[in-house]
């Protein structure tokens, strides 16, 4: 198995395990197509469907939505920043969506309008303060995904949610045991593992936020 394949498997396993405890009931998945409708569980929406009693997905990718429908999924062409489905959900999931949006508050507001009284919004997004980002900043600046327009930390996420009268009820920084690709990368990965054992630096090799709000 290639290093890339091993990293992908470990990443998927970590993502699913951290998300699973926060999923229940009827689920709305914002950004359901993501990179594309994959044939395996790599397509996150397919995995979410195995965890939900019922699932609806929304995305602006019309071709992806059509393919998902052909597979039997209830997926609809909607804007994450302005949608009204006329339904309520127990869980609304926006996994690695918020960092792409011009108006993230609009997504939170729309999501809130679709939550049941005890419903919860689950958000994941990349962490800003990672060792790799620090090194990138020292060597010309952080170069994020070309479609990302924002970085978030735990407190900016909390403040944003509070503005829409939602309270952060759970938080976790998560990552996976990444395998280094090059000799330099492998050496740096070993440094990260050592630093993560230092009290107070446990999250140093975590690269994602997971936030739950009600």
pTM, whole model, 2 decimals?
0.92
The DSSP element (H or E) to which 58 belongs, if any, is: strand 54-59
The residues with which 170 forms a beta bridge, in sequence order, are 212
CA dist 48 and 45 (Å) reads: 5
Whichever domain contains 120, its CATH number is: 3.40.50.150
Confidence of residue 142 (pLDDT cuts 50, 70, 90): low
Average pLDDT in the 31-57 region? Answer: 87
**With contact defined as beta carbons under 8 Å apart, do 210 and 174 qualify?**
yes
pLDDT value of residue 145: 65
Q: At 71, is the secondary structure helix, strand, or coil?
A: coil
CA 81-84-86 angle, to 5 degrees, is 155
Confidence of residue 151 (pLDDT cuts 50, 70, 90): confident
Number of compact structural domains in the chain: 1
pLDDT value of residue 28: 98
Give the residue with greater pLDDT, 146 vs 185.
Answer: 185
What percent of the chain has a predicted confidence (pLDDT) above 90?
65
Of 69-78, 97-106, 115-124, 194-203, where does mean pLDDT reach its minimum?
Answer: 194-203
The residues with which 27 forms a beta bridge, in sequence order, are 55, 91
CA dist 92 and 116 (Å) reads: 10
Per-residue pLDDT of 59-111, as tens digits, reads 999 999 999 999 999 999 999 999 999 999 999 999 999 999 999 999 999 99
CA dist 107 and 163 (Å) reads: 13
- Domain encompassing residue 160: 3-213
Confidence of residue 7 (pLDDT cuts 50, 70, 90): confident
Per-residue pLDDT of 17-42, as tens digits, reads 999 999 999 999 999 998 777 665 57
What's the Cα-to-Cα distance from 143 to each of 103, 133, 136, rounded to whole Å?
21, 9, 8
**With contact defined as beta carbons under 8 Å apart, do 211 and 171 qualify?**
yes
Beta strand 54-59 with 75-77: parallel, antiparallel or unpaired?
parallel
CA dist 169 and 42 (Å) reads: 28
**With contact defined as beta carbons under 8 Å apart, do 180 and 186 qualify?**
yes
**With contact defined as beta carbons under 8 Å apart, do 171 and 212 qualify?**
yes
Confidence of residue 146 (pLDDT cuts 50, 70, 90): confident
**With contact defined as beta carbons under 8 Å apart, do 76 and 65 qualify?**
yes
- Percent helix, percent strand, percent coil in the chain, to nearest 5: 40, 25, 40
């Amino acid at each position: 198995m290639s290093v890339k394949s091993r990293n992908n498997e470990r990443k998927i396993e970590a993502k699913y395990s951290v998300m699973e405890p926060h999923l229940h009931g009827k689920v709305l998945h914002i950004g359901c197509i993501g990179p594309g409708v994959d044939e395996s569980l790599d397509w996150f929406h397919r995995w979410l469907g195995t965890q939900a009693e019922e699932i609806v997905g929304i995305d602006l990718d019309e071709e992806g939505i059509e393919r998902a429908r052909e597979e039997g999924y209830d997926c609809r062409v909607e804007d994450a920043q302005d949608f009204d489905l006329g339904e309520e959900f127990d869980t609304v999931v926006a996994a690695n969506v918020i960092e792409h949006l011009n108006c993230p508050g609009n997504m939170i507001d729309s999501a809130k309008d679709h939550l049941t009284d005890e419903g919860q919004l689950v958000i994941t997004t990349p962490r800003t303060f990672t060792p790799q980002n620090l090194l990138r900043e020292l060597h010309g600046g952080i170069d994020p995904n070309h479609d990302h327009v924002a970085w978030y930390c735990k407190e900016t996420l909390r403040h944003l949610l509070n503005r829409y009268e939602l309270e952060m009820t759970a938080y976790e920084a998560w990552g996976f045991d990444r395998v280094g690709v090059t000799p330099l990368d492998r050496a740096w990965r070993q440094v990260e593992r050592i630093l993560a054992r230092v009290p107070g630096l446990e999250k140093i090799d975590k690269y994602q936020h997971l936030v739950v709000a009600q």
